[in-house]
Amino acid sequence: MEIIKIIGVGFITLIVTIMLKQYRKEFAFLAILMGGAIILFLSLDTLTGIIDFVRSLNENYNNAFISILLKITGISILTEYAVSICKDSGESSIANKIDFGGKIIVISMSIPVISTALESLTKLLP
Amino acid sequence: MDVNLLFKIAGIGIIVAVLHQILSKAGREDQAMMTTLAGMIIVLTIVIKEISELFQTVRTVFNL
């Protein structure tokens, strides 16, 4: 029952954060960071199964875009991790900057995909 | 990568907060600041170790 563990860690992190917030805010932030990391770790185990399946798809279709897709997924997971923590502690401007950086990286990685799509489009058109 | 790390952080945080209160009440503001900074650095080293481990795992999983 993976979800029970995740919920448990989430609640423990919540309690620790609330407790620390009264005394020192910076320790609350560190507790959130650690709790988030633990939960991500727990969910990464199941995620690796999904990714192996996607990789096996890649074998018989040998499409280059699946590896790009996986990379973008990884980047967005990490970006979302950082953005939600920054928003949580009230610094939405930092969250927006991280979000902006993440989007730029994703767009830069998806350029080959876009160019291939455009080429195939122009071939289709008369 | 276990829950007791969370409890360790909570413990250090509470101890540092209490020490800060005691020292500031005893009139030693600078030492209070020093203990808070020391506690902060200890917790930071723990958290950074775990976060780098997490990023390393994500990197290997998605071969970023």
Whether A104 is covered by a domain: the verdict is: yes
Based on the fold, state whether residues A39 and A78 are members of the same structural domain. no
pLDDT tens digits for A65-123? Answer: 888 888 999 999 999 999 999 998 889 999 999 999 999 999 999 998 899 889 989 99
Based on the fold, state whether residues A70 and A126 are members of the same structural domain. yes
- The answer to whether the beta carbons of residues A10 and B4 sit under 8 Å apart is no
* pLDDT of amino acid B43: 93
User: Could you list the residue range(s) of the whole structural domain that residue A114 is in?
Assistant: 63-126
Total length of chain A: 126
Based on the fold, state whether residues A33 and A88 are members of the same structural domain. no
The reply to whether A13 touches chain B by the CB within 8 Å rule is yes
Based on the fold, state whether residues A69 and A122 are members of the same structural domain. yes
Whether A57 is covered by a domain: the verdict is: no
Whether A107 is covered by a domain: the verdict is: yes
* pLDDT of amino acid B16: 93
* pLDDT of amino acid B55: 92
Burial of residue A37, with CB atoms counted within 10 A of its CB: 0-12 exposed, 13-18 middle, 19 or more buried: buried
- Separation of alpha carbons A110 and A104, rounded Å: 10
Based on the fold, state whether residues A41 and A75 are members of the same structural domain. no
- The answer to whether the beta carbons of residues A27 and A16 sit under 8 Å apart is no
- Across the interface, of B17, B51, B64, the residue whose CB is closest to A37 is B51
pLDDT tens digits for A5-63? Answer: 999 999 999 999 999 988 888 899 999 999 999 999 889 888 999 988 888 877 776 67
Q: What is the 3-state secondary structure (H, E, C) of B1-64?
A: CCHHHHHHHHHHHHHHHHHHHHHHHCCCHHHHHHHHHHHHHHHHHHHHHHHHHHHHHHHHHHCC
Whose tokens are 């195939």? That residue is A120
Other Cβ atoms closer than 10 A to B62? 20
Half-sphere exposure of A30 (CA within 13 A, CB side): 26
The reply to whether B38 touches chain A by the CB within 8 Å rule is no
Quote the number of domains for chain A: 2
* pLDDT of amino acid A62: 65
* pLDDT of amino acid A64: 74
Whether A78 is covered by a domain: the verdict is: yes
Whether A37 is covered by a domain: the verdict is: yes
Distance from CA of B27 to the nearest CA of A (A): 19
Based on the fold, state whether residues A34 and A80 are members of the same structural domain. no
3-class DSSP assignment, residue A76:
helix
Based on the fold, state whether residues A72 and A118 are members of the same structural domain. yes
Based on the fold, state whether residues A39 and A89 are members of the same structural domain. no
The reply to whether B9 touches chain A by the CB within 8 Å rule is yes
Residue with more model confidence, A116 or B1? A116
Burial of residue A22, with CB atoms counted within 10 A of its CB: 0-12 exposed, 13-18 middle, 19 or more buried: exposed
Whether A53 is covered by a domain: the verdict is: no
